[in-house]
Structure 1
Amino acid sequence: MFLLLSRYWWVLVLRGVIAILFGVLAFTLPMATLAALVLVFSVYAFADGSFAILTALAGREMTPNWWILFLQGVLGIGVGVLTLFNPEITAVALLLYIAAWAIVAGVLQIFAAVKLRHELTGEWWLALGGILGAAFGVALLWQPAAGALAVLWVIASYAVLWGVMLMIGGFDIHRARNHALVS
């Protein structure tokens, strides 16, 4: 898995940038309609899933664990498409979609970090991102009746933090790869 992620480290960074952009947009437009949030989230989930799948498929010959990233991608695309084709979705249903996605993606991220623990010294950033994602999903399930603005800010905060974790993980993998090439 390290070979796959070290070759495509920049995809983690790009996914992080996309997550941060989504989070900043959600922060700066707190009064946006729910339909706009649904559309923006749908595009974000679809883009994140697409990049994850492309990376997994490009590296399926490099590691038997490529399917972890592939599943994250399928999940992201599925949630993105489901959200796009259900624009009348309520805030609670959107919350449940996001919560389920965050929990599963977080658990898969933790699993990937565990697989990388012998190959990467900074795998804990990936694990921390996974823990953050899963905890975020559980928190959303715990308080589904929270106000729309509060939910929007939580989603924006999660996206920014998730993006930062992905970017740090991507740069850490890049540094580890460069160190391995020099050694």
Structure 2
Amino acid sequence: MEQLARVWWMVLIRGIAAIIFGILALIWPAITLLVLVIFFGAYALVNGFFTLFSGFRHDAKSRAWLIISGIVSILAGIIAFVWPGITSLALLYVVAFWAIFSGVSEIVAGIQMRKVIENEWVLIVAGALSVIFGILLLIWPGAGLLTLVWLVGVFAVLYGVAMVVLSFKVKKLAPQH
């Protein structure tokens, strides 16, 4: 803890950076979405090239899957740069279908756990909310994209505030010279 207290200012800078990012995301959601898509594209390209390189260096058993994975990742990166709108929409659909499928599985688990636990209805309600969220994203994808960016922005601001508060609490633990 003493080591962390010595670099309390680093925690403070992280918090301030998160707050600034969050505010900018809330002020300029369209630009934020585009930047996230560009970062994803850059990551996918780098990941693809390294995976492809690994594929050519591995044995015959895992080589094909690594090469295929690398090519798919490179293609995803290219698509993100060429068609950023489609990429952001694809991300929304991934989140929507994940919410629907995980919600259905939570509902089924809640029903199956009725005899084992009490208050299983909480899991069923959580699953139903997840399904509704996924369906709403599919019905209104434009609003869903904007909402995702806003959630990122709000999270960043709250996280930043927590880090700033933590930095001053940690600073008090530093030994006084």
Tell me whether the two structures share a fold, i.e. TM-score over 0.5.
no
Give the shorter-chain TM-score range. 0.3 to 0.5
Relative to its length, the structure with more helix (as a share) is 2
TM-score normalised by the chain length of structure 1: 0.41
